[in-house]
Structure 1
Amino acid sequence: MEKFELHILGCGSALPTTRHFPTSQIVNVRDKLFMIDCGEGAQLQFRKSRLKFSRLNHIFISHLHGDHCFGLLGLISTLNLLGRTAELHIHSPKGLETLFAPMLSYFNHQMTYKLIFHEFETKEPTVIYEDRSMTVTTIPLRHRMPCCGFLFAEKARPNHIIRDMIDFYQVPVYELNRIKNGADYVTPEGEVISNTLLTSPSDPSRKYAYCSDTIFLPSIIEQIKGVDLLFHEATFANEDAPRAKETYHTTAEQAAQIARDAAVKKLLIGHFSARYEDETILLQEASAIFPDTQLAKETLCVSI
């Protein structure tokens, strides 16, 4: 199968600790790198994960709280120092370009590459990126400011040609693309050869959903139904549920309820509050409801 990986660069929340970096992730799809959020230290963790800056062309910012975007200016500056020439696209809710304009003007007034900001609305799911192999769609979340998660979805791939059958029926090369896409083959004599004899199904399309930061929000379940991997914030343990509600965050138990009800294949929890020196309690509370749960940690790589 083609590469589809998630790299955790940071999985802490707003208050710095010696255990975790603020939120940042890299999604690697066929060696194209997509960054989700860019907290402080993201570029350092990028290096530690042995990823290549040259393959990063799109950054998705979920919302404009500092622990999700304070690392962005440093990363932009580093890419400038490296002499980057390729465009860098930054997708975010409204306001990021205005916020960064004076800092970019002061620190990076001679840019070696073009920086392009794309604003998106946060109230309805919207496709904000698309190429030949995948789409990125926003997932409306509810936080203390406009906020979205992101759904990375592979496009359906053509069927696999069964070479022996193609040779047996002497199918011309110019017919192969049609057959890959589901067409039957009609011989010169008029015999119809079923597509099922000539091809085998392609691998199922894979999906990754990122949901941070948000209050417990069952309305996202339909959009993330059946994803292969769900990252959901689990800032608090159940004993701190009132604090979670007050700050528009989620408990580990609530994250697991979302995963269970959405019938996802695997749950990864993160965005841990600094109050927990050991996140085992969060893993235990989530696993009791959704057994296939894993704690995020820096430099973790999960194959989807």
Structure 2
Amino acid sequence: MKKQRRALQEASISFLDVISCGFGAIVLLLVIAKVGDPAALDEAEKQLLGSAKDYQQRLFDIRGESVILDERLKSRQQQLSELTERIARLKAKLASVAKQSNQLSQSQSREKEQLQLVLQVLSEEMERLLGPEFEQQNQLIGGIPADSDYIIFVIDNSGSMKSYAWEKLKVEMVNILDIYPEVKGLQVMNCEGKYMFQANRDQWLIDSPAIRKGIIAKLDNWNALCSSNPAPGIEKAIRNFYRPDRKISIYYMGDDFLDRSIRRVVRVVDKLNKANRDSDRLVRIHAIGFPLPVYFPPKGTVSPQAIKFANLMRELSYNNGGTFIGLNSLN
């Protein structure tokens, strides 16, 4: 039996695989290989690297600025928190001050009503005892003659007064002004004769509710200090303001006397405020004395300056038709 010969194939599968791999390798080489001008490619690569560095540097700068801004924001937030707390504390203090002011106002109103009631009762009792035809010869309120048309305050605004008695001094000045519902003129100076209102020196302040409030308000920032000697201020007040047709009262307000001689001050004032033909002094001189904590050491002894002040004011007021009131408390 004759065997058949197998037909030869023109291309086998293995050959096609080899040819395909060859073409793939050529394509891969073309992809990997740099096509074009090498110098241009290097320049493009350098530009890309430079751009990448620039962007990276900008990123670092932005991150740094972000950190700085975060720190500033935290600082501002902390400041805002502190300011908020401070505002809350100030509001609380303001509410406390307003409450105290309201209580003080109510207390003063009650005291004023009580004083008015007492005055009315005393007036009725005097009329009952003395009869309706009796005419009072002098106007006394709380022991102080209130017959003057002009009032001058001579104030010891030394350090001790401003440190301890200043708030009480304001209250007493208001009380004194209340004794005189209306006067023709007011003036305020310290014990050295320096005016509170320099624009109105040697002139009367025309009395009005606004002027009275302005005097009390000005006390808070009046810094012309004096040496706790009443003679210069009283002397200037008499020389600059006395006229025969004026009824003037001087109110000296202080706490101590630092000069050596009481007698010298008394002689200076007596010589200037000499009696006229009617045996009255040219002006009345009243005095208000303020006690201070520094005058009362633990053993309870009073300082020599306080004793000298009380003796001086008692003699000055007695000799010059006035009244000396020594306060025993700053409350």
More strand as a share of residues: 1
Query: Which has the larger helix fraction?
Result: 2
Greater relative CO (CA pairs within 8 A, separation 6+): 1
- Rg larger in 1 or in 2? 2
Q: Structure 2 length normalisation: TM-score?
A: 0.27
After TM superposition, the score normalised by the length of structure 1 is 0.29
